[in-house]
Amino acid sequence: MASIQARLTDKMLRLLVKSRFNPNADPRAIRARTTKLAQRFGGVSEGVHVEKLTVAGIPAEWIHPSAEEAGNTLLYLHGGGYAICGPDTHRGLVARLAGAAKARALLLDYRLAPEHPFPAAVEDAYAAYKWLLAEGADPSRLTIAGDSAGGGLTLALLMKLRDAGEPLPAGAALLSPWTDLAMSGLSHITHGKLDPMLSLQATLTAARHYLQGTSPTEPLASPLYGNFEHLPPLLIHVGANEILLDDSRRVAEKALAAGVNVELRVWPGLPHVFQAFPQLPEARTSVTELGAFLNARAIAGRPVRHAAD
């Protein structure tokens, strides 16, 4: 059973997020409101150092947790339907995850739709990863994580890196990933009332802003339809109440069928990207587990696989 904090958060999300969704709203106005809402949950903890920089022409932040970084590097790709959110909404979550992973984290402020539709986000993520390699990051100590759209973007990046013959990271963590912009999963229907944050209308609106004519089954936009062979180990955490639940389930099934080391954990009674709410005991446990996985993959220092291997 979900904690009392989770049940209260469910009510808050229904009131402040789901009930206020307007498909005709300007995404820039939604960005401002989302940032203001995110600020209610606080920023980074004392001792965390944030350094703003530009990576391959893209704004970004280095987040150095107070915990020992142990030489690991984490590239984090934020969620927000490819149209909203950024460092201001995700800095706290990334700092907590980086601390658990004993890593410094590069939080990328990639270009957003509808001003910059697909494949802008994929191009920016690829450029940032290449920048990390050029700066001397060891792929065997490098991991990637992302939530929601950022989780789908993480998978798309892995597929693009593999196909380009680039060194792959040691592993990736996906938090409630959005992997199917065609919205073909049954949970979009069955979980419509369970999900306190997202609706089918909301995801269709975000997909329209991002795709702008691109097929919703294009693998780099919807990695569920891509080739999962030779991807690094994956850990997926998703809430049982999400309309995107089947996006995670089907990714795990396809990855497993392709021989990928993948683990899926479904959290009963939890909403979309519940890790963003540090007041939830489930969020703290999930971040600890995700961080432990990322740290373990970096410590393992697995041999780097290329697409030709």
Q: What tokens appear for 107 in the block? A: 């939080």
- Indicate whether 205 belongs to any domain: yes
Q: Does a structural domain hold residue 308?
A: no
For the chain, what is the domain count?
1
Percent of the chain at pLDDT > 90 equals 83
> Does residue 309 fall inside a structural domain?
no
What pLDDT, on a 0 to 100 scale, did the predictor assign at position 302? 47
CATH of the domain at 288: 3.40.50.1820
Q: Are 180 and 151 in contact (CB under 8 A)?
A: no
Q: Are 170 and 177 in contact (CB under 8 A)?
A: no
Q: What's 212's DSSP letter?
A: T
Residues 116 and 120: their CA atoms lie apart, in Å, by: 6
Domain that residue 282 falls in: 4-300
- Residues 53-63: pLDDT tens digits? 999 999 999 99
Hunting for tokens 């965390």 — which residue is that? 48
Q: Which amino acid is at 54?
A: T
Does 235 map to a domain? yes
Looking at residue 40, its pLDDT comes to: 67
The answer to whether residue 243 sits within a structural domain is yes
Q: Tell me the pLDDT tens digit for each residue of 155-186.
A: 999 999 999 999 999 999 999 999 999 999 99
Give the CA distances from residue 203 to residues 36, 216, 222, 297, in Å, rounded to whole numbers and listed in that order.
21, 12, 13, 32
Answer yes or no: is 306 within a domain. no
- When mean pLDDT is compared across 21-25, 130-134, 183-187, 288-292, the lowest value belongs to 21-25
Enclosing H/E stretch for 288: helix 281-300
Asked if residue 173 belongs to a domain, the reply is yes
**Which of 33-37, 69-73, 128-132, 220-224 has the weakest average pLDDT?**
33-37
Active-site residue set? 148, 242, 272
- Which tokens in the block code for residue 88? 């201001």
Q: Hey, what are 292's tokens?
A: 């432990």
